[in-house]
Amino acid sequence: LVLSCLWLLATPPASSIFQRPTGTPAPLRLQYLLEPLHPTVHTQRGATATLPCVLRALPHNYRVKWSKVELASYRENIIIITNGLYHKNYGPLSPRVRLRHSHRYDASLTITDVALEDEGRYRCQLVNGLEDESISLTLHLEGIVFPYQPSNGRYKFNYHEAKRACEQQDSRLATYQQLYKAWTEGLDWCNAGWILDGTVHYPIINSREPCGGRLLLPGVRTYGARDKQKDRFDAFCFTSALQGQVYFIRGHLNFKEAGQACRNHGAAIAKVGQLYSAWKFSQLDRCDGGWLADGSVRYPITIPRERCGGLPDPGVRSFGFPSKEMRTYGTYCFL
């Protein structure tokens, strides 16, 4: 019995293209799987999230396969397979996923310690010979998108450098959906930047001459797909809630002294994504410029006021990348 059950869980290919060939019929009406009441599950980084998948009946010799569609590569990666008695995990999500299995019809997927890269589209597929069927669900992280460029100016990143730069700042390249949502919430930025799928965009609220002209309507404007090696733009990064705290240390510190001041408190100098997260989720509000890990100086404003930059909207303000020897600023630490 054990051998026959394990045979049912034979290892599938590591990944496969998730695309229905042109001309094939639409999926049949669900017979065994229940359509989810809410196809989008909302969560934050560090939380535990469950994607529902419940059977209305148990067919003979069935399997349930969970997979995730990776936007950057358009591939479907297997996460877990079960036959109701045994299961096997696959891929990088393996240590953090399990089946909820609250009853014998329950094949829901639970993800612990949700990470930024977990956001996206998932598929629960019932494998039952000629009667295969599936449902799709979306895991959505609450978060914030911010534009990012390096110290040597705008339009310096190819796609791979942009991806790495976001990751170094406790974030990841934003998806188009995340960038679009940020635009609806007021993100107005004239510099074009890479997003996760390898396309390039910029969000405009206030049409103006340097940003395509006054006659163009507001929107997320696009340059389309670009050469990931040769073409160079800024980056749009996405981050979510923190598992920690950002706080400010006063002083007139150069960059090296700022890092040491944080370490003296058992902390690390904060990254740009961590400051944005603290501003978004913890309402961090300070009128003091402080060093960050990338050598930039920024400060978060939740309640706009005249003597804190004078701008009418909340946001994370930037002094750019001053000389690291300058002793003018405090520092933001992360613990």
DSSP state of 55: B
Angstrom distance (rounded) from CA 134 to CA 66: 10
Q: At residue 271, what are phi and psi to the nearest 5 degrees?
A: -95, 165
Q: Model pTM?
A: 0.85
- Give the pairing of strands 63-70 and 315-318: unpaired
Give yes or no for a contact between 131 and 59, defined as CB atoms under 8 angstroms apart: yes
Neighbours of 14 (CB within 10 A): 10
Assign 243 a pLDDT band (cuts: 50, 70, 90).
confident
Domain ranges of the chain: 33-141, 143-238, 241-334
Mean pLDDT value across residues 40-59: 95
Q: Which of 7-16, 261-270, 277-286, 307-316 has the lowest mean pLDDT?
A: 7-16
Q: 195: alpha, beta or left, given left = phi > 0 and alpha = psi -120 to 50?
A: beta
**CATH number belonging to domain 241-334:** 3.10.100.10
SS3 letters across 160-201 = HHHHHHHHHCCCEECCHHHHHHHHHCCCCCCCCEECCCCEEE
Could you give the count of Cα atoms lying within 13 Å of 239 in the half-sphere of its Cβ?
25
The alpha-helical segments, DSSP class H, found in the chain are 2-8, 159-168, 176-184, 255-264, 272-281
Angstrom distance (rounded) from CA 226 to CA 199: 6
Give yes or no for a contact between 65 and 125, defined as CB atoms under 8 angstroms apart: yes
Assign 268 a pLDDT band (cuts: 50, 70, 90).
very high
Whether the per-residue pLDDT at 9 is higher than 50: the answer is no
Q: Is the dihedral of CA 262, 263, 269, 275 positive or negative?
A: negative
Question: For residue 34, which of 138, 124, 120, 129 has the smallest C-alpha distance?
Answer: 124
What CATH superfamily is the domain 143-238? Mannose-Binding Protein A, subunit A (3.10.100.10)
Whether the per-residue pLDDT at 18 is higher than 50: the answer is no
Within its chain, how far is the Cα of 250 from the centroid?
A: 32
Structure tokens at 275: 């400051």
Summarised one tens digit per residue, pLDDT across range 65-94 is 999 988 766 789 999 999 988 999 999 999
Whether the per-residue pLDDT at 56 is higher than 50: the answer is yes
Give yes or no for a contact between 82 and 75, defined as CB atoms under 8 angstroms apart: no
Whether the per-residue pLDDT at 224 is higher than 60: the answer is yes
Give SS3 for 237. strand
Q: At residue 62, what are phi and psi to the nearest 5 degrees?
A: -95, 165
Assign 11 a pLDDT band (cuts: 50, 70, 90).
very low
Assign 10 a pLDDT band (cuts: 50, 70, 90).
very low
Out of 1.10.290.10, 3.40.190.10, 3.40.50.970, 2.60.40.10, the CATH code matching 33-141 is 2.60.40.10
Q: At residue 274, what are phi and psi to the nearest 5 degrees?
A: -70, -35
Summarised one tens digit per residue, pLDDT across range 90-146 is 999 999 999 999 999 999 999 999 999 999 999 999 998 767 899 999 999 999 999
Mean pLDDT value across residues 29-47: 93
Give SS3 for 222. strand
Whether the per-residue pLDDT at 29 is higher than 90: the answer is no
Cβ neighbors of 296 (< 8 A, separation 6 or more) are 151, 272, 318, 319, 320, 321
Asked if domains 143-238 and 241-334 share a fold, the reply is yes
Whether the per-residue pLDDT at 14 is higher than 80: the answer is no
Task: Calculate the dihedral angle through the C-alpha atoms of 246, 251, 256, 262, rounding to the nearest 10 degrees.
Answer: -30
Q: Which residues pair with 127 in a beta bridge?
A: 63
Assign 291 a pLDDT band (cuts: 50, 70, 90).
very high
CA angle, residues 217, 221, 225, in degrees to nearest 5: 155
